[in-house]
Amino acid sequence: MTDNAKQLAAEAAAFLRTHFDVEGINLALVLGSGWSSGADQLGDPIGEIELGEVPGFSRPVVSGHGGKLLLKRTTGGKVAAVLTGRTHYYEGRGVAPVVHGVRTVAAWGATTLVLTNGCGGLNPQWAPGTVVLIKDHINLTGDTPLEGATFIDLSEAYSKRLRDLAHGVAPELPEGVYVQFRGPQYETPAEVRMAGILGGDLVGMSTTLETIAAREAGLEVLGLSLVTNAAAGLSESNLDHTEVLQTGRDAGPRLAGLLAGIVGAL
């Protein structure tokens, strides 16, 4: 992490401490496509703020993505920061803005990070609406949030302890490997086949860069993907963002209950 990135995260964390009058938090969540509807069930509200008002953050630019930071007290008595939007790599702002939220919550005291997303699925048994635990990832952006000789061990990028905890809440959850492409175009059928050959089960446009930054900051990471559609070439229909959003809306009540159960157990 550069000195500038570290300073900006510290400034954002200091701003949030003052705004909420909360010295530190225990965990944080980033809610991707389809997941924001679950925010209301994550605990008692402490307060909220528009992300664009926090130093270093920008308002989300993608339809269907929220734009607030919510502070919650979970049923387990912990303080959780819930980001209902994220900056995506395909927006062209560079890696630092993509991972600024992760670095901010780490500077604010979080030790656990839950990353969620909507994605395409390669496994035909995972119908749209299926939630998959991320057990590993493949970063095809060609980029990283790390600077210089920063050698971060990613042998367990996604915590097995947290995956086991999630299985305690929902034993039926499958696990898979998430592949991040740069976007914003959806993957071609050939790219989807390549992802499968490389060992991928899910394809999307977020999460891996945030996970790398989280591990650099010492955060334990749990990743949850909502399969919003079969990946390109695996169904007869073409990909459509409005259908992706509709799948998220349809799964909303179930996702809310699942997230509430997992967060309550953290």
Tell me the HSE value of 157 on the side-chain side, using a 13 A CA sphere.
21
CB 200 within 8 A of CB 180: no
Tell whether residue 215 is among the known ligand binding residues.
Answer: no
Query: Catalytic site residue 11?
Result: no
Tell whether residue 172 is among the known ligand binding residues.
Answer: no
Distance CA 99, CA 78 (A): 23
Tell whether residue 73 is among the known ligand binding residues.
Answer: no
Closest C-alpha among 74, 36, 41 to residue 265: 74
Phi/psi class of residue 182: alpha, beta or left (left: φ > 0; alpha: ψ in -120 to 50)?
alpha
In the block, which residue shows the tokens 């860069």?
Answer: 209
Give the helix/strand (H/E) hosting 162.
helix 160-169
CB 132 within 8 A of CB 174: yes
3-class DSSP string for 117-185:
EEEEECCCCCCCCCEEEEEEEEECCCCCCCCCCCCCCCCCCCCHHHHHHHHHHCCCCCEEEEEECCCCC
Tell whether residue 65 is among the known ligand binding residues.
Answer: yes
Instruction: Tokens for 8, please give them.
Output: 């900006």
Distance CA 196, CA 22 (A): 44
Distance CA 16, CA 196 (A): 41
Instruction: Tokens for 95, please give them.
Output: 């890696």
Out of 187, 191, 210, 220, the active site residue is 187
Return the bridge partners of 201, or none: none
Tell whether residue 86 is among the known ligand binding residues.
Answer: yes
Distance CA 58, CA 76 (A): 31
Instruction: List, as residue ranges, the binding site for a purine D-ribonucleoside.
Output: 187, 229
Binding site members for phosphate: 33, 65, 86-88, 118, 206
| Feature table: binding site | 33, 65, 86-88, 118, 187, 206, 229
Active site residues: 187
